Amino acid sequence: MSMILVRTIPEIRRDIAAARERDMSIGLVPTMGALHEGHGALLRRAREENSYAVATIFVNPTQFDRPEDLEKYPRNLEADMAFCERIGVDAVFAPDAREMYPDQFLTSVAVAGISSRLEGEFRPGHFRGVATVVAKLFQIIPADRAYFGEKDAQQLAVIQKMVADLNIPIAIVPVATVREPDGVAMSSRNQRLTPDDRRIAPRLYQALCEAGRLIRSGSRSAAEVKLGALAILASSPEIRVEYLEIVDPTFHVLETVTGEVRIAAAVWLGQVRLIDNLKV
């Protein structure tokens, strides 16, 4: 069976219902397109663990806090379709904005606390937009499993909390970050880096690794760990740090390192904002 491209909600509902009728399990990978090997890992996992794999491609306007970011977000449906087809995806759901947000759209889903910190602080409304569109996709495509990358670890935590709180019957499967050979986390935004900035970009992952090394070697002071990591970023004056923090699993900023922690950071390189994180 070859891959289908679906543009409307009633049509994808029919396809999913038909798959369910045949007792197929459904794996869902929500994306904003501009697919790369990070998405590839999600899609392959969905392909392997389910009998029917669906990718959604939707550049969700409500999760962009800056209009220029939405405008510049890369879009290439043809390449994305070829990418999905190579992996063996069964259906691509690529609605337009009016299909997802008709006139007079009024409803929002919010996850308090976790949504207001780090990414939420620097991108107001971002996680409300994410939670709302994912809640919609989960109703449109009642999958057995949905796959999200750990690169967007805070987004993953917001979605896991929403699914638990609202009793949405879909298993959320986290998938490890895929990195370039030089350590840079795969991201659609990387293609907007200038060649010079791309050469500097590995500093972000190196800084996270240094923080991880300090923690594993016994440092319990977040301030000390951050100092070591920030020193690496400071060695490239082109890098502007938005935040670098040690956080617990619900993204509370820690002063003392205890239990399972994550080092999360956002930096600017020119006009491009990059995020990354590392679990320790």
Catalytic positions are 39
Cβ proximity to a copy of itself, 117 vs 226, nearer residue:
117
- Given candidates 105, 191, 223, 235, which one binds a copy of itself under the rule CB under 8 A? 105
CB distance 108 to 68 below 8 Å: no
**Residue 10 beta carbon to a copy of itself: minimum distance, rounded to whole angstroms:** 10
Q: Which of the residues 3 through 62 are near a copy of itself (CB under 8 A)?
A: 9, 13
Question: Helices 126-140 and 9-21 sit at what angle, rounded to 10 degrees?
Answer: 50
Six token digits for residue 261: 């922690």
Query: Interface with a copy of itself includes 211 (CB under 8 A)?
Result: no
Residue type, 177: T
Rounded Cα–Cα distance for residues 93 and 76 (Å): 14
Of 69, 30, 39, residue with least CA distance to 187: 39
Binding range to a copy of itself, per CB under 8 A, among 48-56, 69-77, 158-166, 271-279: 158-166
CA dihedral 42, 133, 260, 207 (to 10 degrees): 70
Residue span 107-126 as binding mask against a copy of itself, x where in contact by CB under 8 A, dash where not: xxxxxxxx------------
- In sequence order, the 6+-apart residues with CB closer than 8 A to the CB of 215 are 225, 246, 257, 261, 263, 280
Query: Interface with a copy of itself includes 131 (CB under 8 A)?
Result: yes
Cβ proximity to a copy of itself, 109 vs 278, nearer residue:
109
Query: Interface with a copy of itself includes 169 (CB under 8 A)?
Result: yes
Binding range to a copy of itself, per CB under 8 A, among 28-36, 167-175, 217-225, 233-241: 167-175
Cβ proximity to a copy of itself, 14 vs 199, nearer residue:
14
Cβ proximity to a copy of itself, 169 vs 259, nearer residue:
169
- Given candidates 3, 168, 209, 241, which one binds a copy of itself under the rule CB under 8 A? 168
DSSP reduced 3-state for 16: helix
CA dihedral 245, 130, 122, 224 (to 10 degrees): 0
Rounded Cα–Cα distance for residues 251 and 266 (Å): 14
- Given candidates 136, 192, 203, 226, which one binds a copy of itself under the rule CB under 8 A? 136
Element (H, E) at 216: helix 202-216
List the beta bridge partners of residue 65. Answer: none
Query: Interface with a copy of itself includes 166 (CB under 8 A)?
Result: yes
Q: Which residues bind a copy of itself (CB under 8 A)?
A: 9, 13, 105-114, 131-132, 135-136, 139-140, 142, 161-162, 165-169
